[in-house]
Amino acid sequence: MILITGASGAVGSALLRELDGTEEVIALTHHKPVDTTSVRGDVTRPWLGLHPAEYRELAAKVDVVVHCAAAVNFSASHEHLHRVNVVGTGHVLRFVADAGARLVHGSTAFVARAGDGTPFDAYAATKATGETLVRESGLPACIARISTVIGDVPRLQAFHYLLGFALSGQLPFLPCTPGTRVDLVPRDAVAAALAALAHDHEAHGDHWLTAGPAALPMERVIEIAIDAAAARAQDDEELRDIDQTIFHTRLIDPAVASTVLTAVLSRSSSSAAPSVIERAANLMAAYDNAEPFPTSLGRIPSGPPAPTVESSETALRHLTDYLTGLPRQTWELS
């Protein structure tokens, strides 16, 4: 019996789909219902927010916990991030101990970049603390360090918005050092890897669920986005006769980004423009000029193959096709 926390999120919902029909699964959900056996709880509360009798009944059933519940909003307060990512992990560890179960702990690859002065810092720091709790618990556990997840996720996340703004012509430039690679991993690959770790009774240590050497240069990411935007324009009578090159995102050296932001945005009549570009710039700060993550994909028994540049490009094309199919108002900022 596998218990999945955060089962309605981007990773948890993909894992539910991966495990569908293969074994008994229970989902721990907080707000959104899921299409499987589930209990409604809250990892930030003792007993996972369950009645003690319900807690004991659940603990008697569960053999493996895959902990996907997390706060991933990088702009959230430190208190909220700590409550979910640290306190919540402590409560899950207590449940694992009470159940005599094994844990697959969902973490983030960005713990490797904690302290770099990026907007990811508070989030990465709380995830790093959660990892420490897992290691020091002495419980049978492994840690899955997950990179930026892409795909048809239940709720758009930061990188989806960056691409969406580029596709919709709202991102004229983006601070990025030439050669910077962006690690993107399809959520189906993440789900397959987590399922394999859940089934491997010997799994321990850290596992990097990342693109690794197959991470794409940001220049190539933008090229693929441009191709998707051009294809969309051909299918839109309002856009077909407009020179689409005027909307293309240009990468600029971060060293001059602040000057350009000041000079260009101060003359912009659009109140939304500074928000779009500044959000994108903040996101890119976590990738810019950083060494690629390692990857464990291709080395997890019964897990997915190692990513290749070709598979990374294919996944990105699927994502851009998905994003261009969303309503235009998706990219309108309030």
Task: Give the pTM.
Answer: 0.91
Q: What is the pLDDT of residues 239-296, one digit of tens each?
A: 544 444 555 788 888 877 667 666 665 555 554 444 677 778 788 888 888 889 999 9
- Rg (the chain; Cα; Å): 21
From CA 298, how far away is CA 317, in angstroms rounded?
22
Residue 48 Cα to chain centre, angstroms: 23
Q: Give SS3 for 5.
A: strand
Q: Give SS3 for 186.
A: strand
pLDDT band at residue 312, thresholds of 50, 70 and 90?
A: very high
Q: What is the pLDDT of residues 205-233, one digit of tens each?
A: 999 999 999 999 999 999 998 888 877 76
pLDDT of residue 271: 47
User: Helix 187-199 and helix 10-19: axis angle, to 10°?
Assistant: 60
pLDDT of residue 233: 63
pLDDT band at residue 235, thresholds of 50, 70 and 90?
A: low
Average pLDDT (150-154) is 85
